[in-house]
Amino acid sequence: MAIQQGSFVQHGVPGARRTSRRALRMAGSAVLAASVGAGALAGASAASPNARHHAATSGSVTAFSISALTGADSFEGPYAASGIDPAMYTINKAGGILGHSFSVKEINTNSDPADALTNASQAVATTSNVIGVQGPDSSSSSTLVPFFESRHLPMISTAGQSIYDNNTRSFFWRMLPPDPSNGVAMAYWAVKHDGCKRVAYVFGSDPDSQGAKPGVVLGVKNLHATVVADVTLTPSQPSYRTQVATVLAGNPQCILTGSNGPTAATFYGEMQQLGHLVPIIPDESRENSQYWGPVMKTIGAGNFNKYFTFVAAGNPPVNPATHELYQAIAAVGSKLQKPLSQWQGNPFTDNNYETYMILALAADASHSLNPSVINAWIPKITNPGAGKVTVYTYPAALAALKAGKQIRYVGPLGPITWNKAHNFWGSEAVQKLSTKQVLYNIGLITAGQISQLG
Under 8 Å between Cβ of 254 and 281: yes
pLDDT, tens digit (0-9, with 9 covering 90-100), for 400-414: 999 999 999 999 988
Q: What is the pLDDT of residue 106?
A: 96
Helix or strand (DSSP H, E) at 421: none
Largest CA distance in the chain: 68
- Same domain? For 300 and 318 the reply is no
Whether 51 and 90 share a structural domain: yes
450 vs 452: CA distance, rounded Å: 5
The predicted structure's pLDDT at residue 131: 98
Residues 17 and 123 in one domain: yes
CATH number of the domain residue 409 falls in = 3.40.50.2300
Cβ atoms within 10 Å of 387's Cβ, excluding its own: 7
Domain count, the chain: 2
Confidence band of 11 (pLDDT split at 50, 70, 90): low
Give yes or no: residues 257 and 161 share one domain: no
323-to-237, 412, 454 alpha-carbon distances in Å: 41, 9, 34
Residue 289 shares a structural domain with residue 329: no
Predicted pLDDT of residue 439: 82
**Predicted local distance difference test score (pLDDT) of residue 342:** 87
At residue 346 the predicted structure's pLDDT band, cuts being 50, 70 and 90, is confident
- Stretch 284-291: mean pLDDT, rounded? 87
pLDDT of residue 15: 33
Residues 44, 192, single domain; the answer is no
The type of residue at 203 is: F
Q: Are 122 and 45 in contact (CB under 8 A)?
A: no
- Quote the pTM value: 0.71
What is the pLDDT at residue 23?
A: 26
Residue 308 φ then ψ, to 5°: -100, 130
φ, ψ at 380 (rounded to 5°): -65, -30
Which pLDDT tens digit goes with each residue over 234-244?
Answer: 998 999 999 99
Mean pLDDT of the chain: 85
Would you state the torsion angle of the CA atoms of residues 164, 166, 171, 173, taken in this order, to the nearest 10 degrees? Answer: 60
Strand pairing of 389-391 and 407-409?
Answer: parallel
Using only C-alpha atoms, the chain has a radius of gyration, in whole angstroms, of: 22
Task: List b or e across 138-171, with b for residues whose CB sees 16 or more CB atoms inside 10 angstroms.
Answer: bbbbbbbbebbeebbbbbbbbbbeeebeebeeeb
Residues 251 and 277 in one domain: yes
| 139 and 288, same domain (yes or no) | no
Same structural domain, 291 and 363: no
User: Does 195 share its domain with 283?
Assistant: yes
Structural domain boundaries, residue 56: 1-176+314-423
CB 60 within 8 A of CB 129: yes
21 and 73, same structural domain?
Answer: yes
Structure confidence at residue 348 (pLDDT): 85
CA distance 12 to 29: 28
> So what's the pLDDT on residue 317?
62
Same domain, 212 and 267: yes
Q: What is the pLDDT of residue 211?
A: 83
